Structure 1
Amino acid sequence: MFQDISIEKLNELRAKNEMTIIDVRSPSEFADSTIPGSINIPFFTDEERAEIGTLYKQVSTQTAKERGLEIMSAKLPAFVKRFAEIKGNKTVFCWRGGMRSRTTATVLSLMGIHVYRLDGGYRSFRKWVVETLGMMDFAPKVFVLHGNTGTGKTEILKVLKGKGYPVVDLEGLAGHRGSIFGEIGLKSNNQKTFDSLLLEEILRYRDEPYILIEAESKRIGKVVLPEFLIVKKEQGTHIMLEAPTALRVTNILDDYRPKEHKELSLKAFHQIKSRIHTPIAQEIEASLLTSQFGRAVELLLESYYDPRYAHTSHTYGEAFDQIPAIQFKTIEEAVELVEQRIKEMTNQMEPEQTIKSGV
């Protein structure tokens, strides 16, 4: 017979890469949220699940079970084969450790394929994520990158992460750049997915002396940052970045690719059009319509984003305004200067806080 496994034991094995996690829920449930790193081998398709759910509610539990058995029996050989092809330890889960995962684990056991079943299913995992984030006591210091829109903060962080620095890319986890144009060309994550991915990163770096993040508001697209991270950000060490407008425009064009997303760019602009002085708003719209994207971006920076950033910066207090900015003309130069600033700041940290990220 199969064995149930707790979320704590599963996490221990996941951390050692000793477990393949298989979500047997429907494709739409899997797409909505799952345990990071899971693969989807659905017990029912979305349509089959909807049919059985209707029978359960409108006819009877027994009728729903009989129909489920009829559907599953026809595709059982292919279903089992997919599990047989996966080597090593395997854990299956459904929504709450009920019929789908129990039936899967039982059938596989009869076929000589051993799997674990997650006790409580995805619901237990979600509960663990929420409770862990809510009670998080995160020791590492936080270095926060600030700078006007288009400065290249996200790209700088990506390069630093590639070099071994402990970076948490909040926008990457959210699938959103944080602005009204932030979802263009991306697939934004919901709160459940963001929380799971964020917790993975936080636990990965919990023994580091510091982490690097980008200055973000409490909300990024569809998601909200946990309270402990907001507090750590506010209490963090701030690094100011300053780039020429021409570089910022280039960065934005490279990142957002408005030529490929012209209609979406116009739609996003219309959401903020009323907040911009009318003659300038008209010129921005005309520039977008005629594919003069560089000019549109330049005007948006001057008339909308830079004033908003200046207003937000004042909330940090006078000391924030005294922080010397790192000025640069290329991303490569920015990375080098940020590295120097990090070394200066880490040298000022407690002696026992040695760098564990290998940088």
Structure 2
Amino acid sequence: MNDTRDYAGLFLGDIPLLDVRAPVEFAKGAFPTASNLPLLDDDERHRVGIRYKQQGQQAAIDLGNELVSGRKKSARLDAWRAWHRAHPDGYLYCFRGGLRSRTTQAWLDLAGVHVPLVVGGYKAMRRFLLDRLKHNLRHLPVVVLSGRTGCGKTRLIERLTDAIDLEGMAHHRGSAFGRRPAGQPSQIDFENRLAIALLKHQHRGPAPVVVEDEGKLIGRCYVPDDLQARIRQSPRVVIDEPLEARVQVTLEDYVTGPLDEYSRHYGEAQAFERLAEALLAALDRIRKRLGGARHQYLRGELEAALDQQRHGGDVERHRVWIRELLSGYYDPMYDYMLQRRDGPILYQGSRAQVMEYLSHRG
């Protein structure tokens, strides 16, 4: 394979990418199919950078070769070769497609392995994604999926082929209770995921993209201004579910369902207590908006429900605080938000009816 500038092809094809930048660079922003196996670690990169500023490129190259030699060089070559065996169709890159990626490629070539480069590196790919994101957010047709908290918007989004799961990309459920184990991606990673998803949607054809009705932030991930504008102005489809059905969905999504995720992240022994801490902390974060008396009542009910669940596994008591939180706090917030939306309502019905409508719209 030859070196490439076909950035669209890389992202549309989910091509594996070998990122040889330092870990600190990778943590700030990367691509979903990228693996970070750096040529220089953070300390080595810092030292080489200082040498470059003080003495120029050749002196920096000499220091880099000195720092990465012997067993250290062999270990990095072994890691790159193992990556190539697992991803023979992959490409490698550094920040600008310059010295680090070409050095990595040259060392691999000497070892009998050829991995092609992404010309322009991370910087060029990121610029491509930002340009396509801006274009697609302004020109792709959008349908907004609305509905009160607990109506199951995300469940429906996950079943639609023409939908973009913003909360999934942000690794957050989109409310004060939305934090998940392992935290959220960086803002750059969130934007990259969104840009790639929209690029794939545009490539598939002209159908409108369905997005969930979101505000400015999903946790700490900022929704791009152009997308916020489209959400406010685009036509919408509204899920209308009765309160008790929404209580059930909320119970499943925030109390019983997350236990598996918490078990995978913290271990089974700690899962319940970690989830309990997270629920109580989420309620405390909205104390001011709830008001002191309501917060105290809800916290008491949540603590009682957690205690009942802890000692017998019974989750029914959770319905009390969930019901009050939905009807007394989230529903008025949703009604206010809906008044600030300009797009016409195309259809309104139960989640099953909305699924049927969106699945067969022409």
TM-score tier (shorter): 0.7 to 0.9
Q: Describe the SS at the equivalent of 1:261.
A: helix
**Larger helix proportion of the pair:** 2
Cα distance in 1 between the residues matched to 2:52 and 2:140: 50
Tell me, yes or no, if the aligned pair for 2:238 and 2:354 is still in contact at 8 Å.
Answer: no
**Post-superposition CA distance 1:30-61 (Å, at most 9, x none):** 23321221122222334444555566678987
Matches within 5 A, 1:232-271: 232-257=230-255, 259=272, 260-271=274-285
Q: What runs of 5+ residues in structure 2 fail to find an aligned partner?
A: 259-271, 307-316
Cα distance in 2 between the residues matched to 1:341 and 1:118: 43
Match of 1:305 in 2: 330
Out of 73, 76, 92, the position equivalent to 2:73 is 76
Tell me, yes or no, if the aligned pair for 1:157 and 1:213 is still in contact at 8 Å.
Answer: yes
Q: Once superposed, what is the RMSD of the aligned Cα atoms?
A: 3.0
Cα distance in 1 between the residues matched to 2:107 and 2:342: 63
Cα distance in 2 between the residues matched to 1:112 and 1:56: 30
Cα distance in 2 between the residues matched to 1:319 and 1:144: 10
Instruction: Give the Å deviation of 1:244.
Output: 2.6
Q: What runs of 5+ residues in structure 1 fail to find an aligned partner?
A: 328-333, 347-359
Match of 1:275 in 2: 289
Q: Describe the SS at the equivalent of 1:316.
A: coil
Tell me, yes or no, if the aligned pair for 1:151 and 1:241 is still in contact at 8 Å.
Answer: yes
Cα distance in 2 between the residues matched to 1:120 and 1:316: 41
Tell me, yes or no, if the aligned pair for 2:233 and 2:342 is still in contact at 8 Å.
Answer: no
Match of 2:157 in 1: 157
Tell me, yes or no, if the aligned pair for 1:167 and 1:212 is still in contact at 8 Å.
Answer: yes
**Quick one: structure 1 residues 78 and 136, their matched pair in 2 at CA, closer, same or farther if it must change by over 3 Å?**
same
Q: Describe the SS at the equivalent of 2:145.
A: strand
**Quick one: structure 1 residues 284 and 94, their matched pair in 2 at CA, closer, same or farther if it must change by over 3 Å?**
same
Cα distance in 2 between the residues matched to 1:52 and 1:130: 30
**Quick one: structure 1 residues 61 and 267, their matched pair in 2 at CA, closer, same or farther if it must change by over 3 Å?**
farther
Aligned length: 329
Tell me, yes or no, if the aligned pair for 1:136 and 1:228 is still in contact at 8 Å.
Answer: no
Match of 2:301 in 1: 287
**Post-superposition CA distance 1:247-284 (Å, at most 9, x none):** 32232232223854222222232221111133211111
**Quick one: structure 1 residues 231 and 117, their matched pair in 2 at CA, closer, same or farther if it must change by over 3 Å?**
same
Cα distance in 2 between the residues matched to 1:169 and 1:151: 16
Cα distance in 1 between the residues matched to 2:55 and 2:177: 47
Match of 2:190 in 1: 194
**Post-superposition CA distance 1:208-257 (Å, at most 9, x none):** 32222211123322233334433433443321112232332232232223
Tell me, yes or no, if the aligned pair for 2:148 and 2:240 is still in contact at 8 Å.
Answer: yes
Q: Which amino acid aligns with 1:300?
A: L
Q: Which amino acid aligns with 1:273?
A: R
Match of 2:115 in 1: 115
Match of 1:338 in 2: 354
Worse-superposed segment, 28-37 or 61-70? 61-70
Instruction: Give the Å deviation of 1:184.
Output: 3.2
**Post-superposition CA distance 1:80-109 (Å, at most 9, x none):** 233334253432112222332121112122
**Quick one: structure 1 residues 253 and 46, their matched pair in 2 at CA, closer, same or farther if it must change by over 3 Å?**
farther
Q: TM-score, normalised by structure 2?
A: 0.79
Instruction: Give the Å deviation of 1:78.
Output: 3.0
Q: Describe the SS at the equivalent of 1:132.
A: helix
Q: Which amino acid aligns with 1:262?
A: A
Cα distance in 2 between the residues matched to 1:299 and 1:104: 59
Q: Describe the SS at the equivalent of 1:136.
A: helix
Q: Which amino acid aligns with 2:237?
A: I
Instruction: Give the Å deviation of 1:121.
Output: 2.0
Cα distance in 1 between the residues matched to 2:329 and 2:93: 47
Match of 2:165 in 1: 169
Q: Describe the SS at the equivalent of 2:117.
A: strand
Instruction: Give the Å deviation of 1:25.
Output: 1.7
**Quick one: structure 1 residues 264 and 13, their matched pair in 2 at CA, closer, same or farther if it must change by over 3 Å?**
closer
Q: Describe the SS at the equivalent of 2:173.
A: coil
Q: Describe the SS at the equivalent of 2:143.
A: strand
